[in-house]
Structure 1
Amino acid sequence: MTSALWLTGDAESDQLLSDDPFALLVGMLLDQQYPMEAAFAGPRKIRDRMGTLDPRAIADADPDAFVTMATTPPAIHRYGRSMAGRVQAVARAVVDDYDGDVTRIWTTPGAAGEAPTGAEVLARLEALPGFGTQKAQIFLALLGKQRGVTPAGWREAAGHYGDEGSFRSIADVTSADAMAKVREFKKAQKAAAKQAGTKQAGTKQAAAKA
C-alpha cells in the first residue's frame, strides 16, 4: 500500500492527490511557471468549485464557464486562462483514449501484450496535451517513487528524475524539508544555466571583435 502524499502541505489537498490519480495528473500539468505546492493545490480548487474532478465532467464543461471557474481568485494557476484549456484538453484525452480512467495510462498492456514498460508509459504521458518529455519523466518518477507504479525500466525512462536519493523535482517531495531541497536544486540549476549563457555570450562577443 502506498503512503499518503505530501506535495502541498495542505492535508485535504494532499489527500485528494493521494486518492485520485487524475488529480495527481492535473497537478503535474499545472506544475509549470508556478510554485510546486500551489500547482498541486489546483485540483482541489477545481473539485471544490465543480463538485467533481471526473474527467468526463471536466472535458464536457462549457469552456467559458470553466475558464471563469479556473480564474476566480484564488486562481488555479498564475496563467489560469491558458491552463484551464490545458486541463480540459488533458481530460478529453483521458476520456477518449483511456475511457476516463487515467490509471490505464500505466496499466494497459503494451505492444507485446504484457504489462507496459517504463518507456511505453513515458510515451503515453508525452502524448498527453501539455506534457513534454521533461514533465512526462517527472510524472513517471513520481509514480515510481511514491505511488508504487514501477513498470520495467521506469527509472531509466524517467532519466535523472528517477535517480534514487535525488532531490530534483516534485517526485522527490515528501516533506517540507524535501521541498526546500528540491527548490535549492532548481535554484542552482537556474544559476548554472544563467552563468553558462553569460559565458557563451561573452565568447561570441570576443569572437566578433577578433
Structure 2
Amino acid sequence: MTTLWLAQDADADRLLAEDPFALILGMLLDQQQPLEKAFKGPYLLAQRLEVSRLDPAEIAAYDPERFAAIYATPPAIHRFPGSMAERSQKLAQAIVDDYDGDTAALWTGAKDGKDLLKRLGDLPGFGKMKAQIFTALLGKQFDVRPEGWREAAGAYGEEGSLRSVADIVDAPSLTKVREFKKQMKAEAKGAKG
C-alpha cells in the first residue's frame, strides 16, 4: 500500500491511499485552501457519512441541501462549502455515469498518458493543470504509469520537480513545494503589475 503525506493526518492519508474516490475528491478540493485541509476533506466527509469508504453513487444521490450542510458543519470541509459540495456531487455523478462508480477504472482503463489526461480533464472541476498534477500524482506515488504519462503530466511529471502535491512525501518536500508555489504566485503577480 502507498503511504501518503498529503493530509498530514495518518487516518486521512490512509483513506486517500486506499480509496480512489477519496483521492480524486481530495484533488478536487485542493483549491483556494491549504492542501492539507483539502486532502483531509474526504476523511471528514467519510466520518460525517459514517462510512469507511466513499461511494460515488451514494454521494451523487445524496440530497444536495443536506450534502451542503455536511460540508458546512464546522470544521467546514472547504472554505466554500456550498459550491464545493455541489462540485463534489457532480464529480461523483461523472464517476457513476462514465465509470460505473469505479473511480480507479478512470486510470486503469486509460490507453496511455494522453488518454488519462483527457479522462481527468473531462471531470467536473478538473482543468488542464489539475489533470496534469493528478496524472503526476498517480505516476509518482501510485505506480500508475501508462505509456507517455510523464509527457502528459508536463512539468509536473518531471523527476524531482517538487512543484505539486505529486511530489510531497515528507516535511522537506512539502516545504519545497510551498516555496515553488509562492515563487510562481510572486512571478504571476509581477507579470500583472
Does the pair score TM above 0.5?
Answer: yes
Q: Percent identity?
A: 57
Q: What CA distance in whole angstroms lies between the structure 2 residues aligned with 1:107 and 1:9?
A: 27
List aligned pairs for 1:3-18, cutoff 5 A.
Answer: 3-18=2-17
Aligned amino acid, residue 175 of structure 1: D
Give 1 or 2 for the bigger CA radius of gyration. Answer: 1
Residue in 1 aligned with 2:161? 166
CA distance in 1, matches of 2:160, 2:172: 14
Matched residue type, 1:50: L
Deviations 1:66-114 (A, max 9, x none): 0000110001111111000010000000011101001111122x5xxxx
* Counterpart AA for 1:19: E
Report deviation, 1:3: 2.8
Distance in 2, Cα, partners of 1:130 & 1:83: 9
Q: Report what 1:133 is aligned to.
A: 128
Give a deviation string over 1:87-144, Cα, whole Å, max 9, x none.
Answer: 0000000011101001111122x5xxxxx10000100000000000000000000000
Where does structure 2 lack aligned partners over 5 or more consecutive residues?
A: none
Q: Secondary structure at the match of 2:133?
A: helix
Give 1:186 shift.
Answer: 0.3
Q: Whole-Å Cα distance in 2 between the matches of residues 107 and 149 of structure 1?
A: 8
Q: TM-score if structure 1 supplies the norm length?
A: 0.89
- 2:25 corresponds in structure 1 to 26
Runs of 4+ in 1 over 3 A off after TM superposition: none
- Work out whether 1:183 is the aligned partner of 2:178: yes
> For the residues of structure 1 that align with 2:192 and 2:76, how far apart are their CA atoms?
34
Deviation of 1:196 (Å): 1.6
- 1:160, CA displacement in angstroms? 0.3
1:203 aligned partner:
none
CA contact (8 A) 1:95 1:101 kept: yes
**Residue equivalent to 1:202:** none
Aligned to 1:122: 117
In 2, distance between residues paired with 1:80 and 1:148?
32
1:38-187 map, 5 Å: 38-52=37-51, 53-108=54-109, 116-187=111-182
Provide the aligned C-alpha RMSD in A.
0.9
Does the residue aligned with 1:158 lie in a helix, a strand or coil?
helix
Deviations 1:15-48 (A, max 9, x none): 0001111100000000001100110000001100
C-alpha separation between the residues in 1 aligned to 2:175 and 2:78? 21
Unmatched tracts of structure 1, length 5 or more:
111-115, 199-210
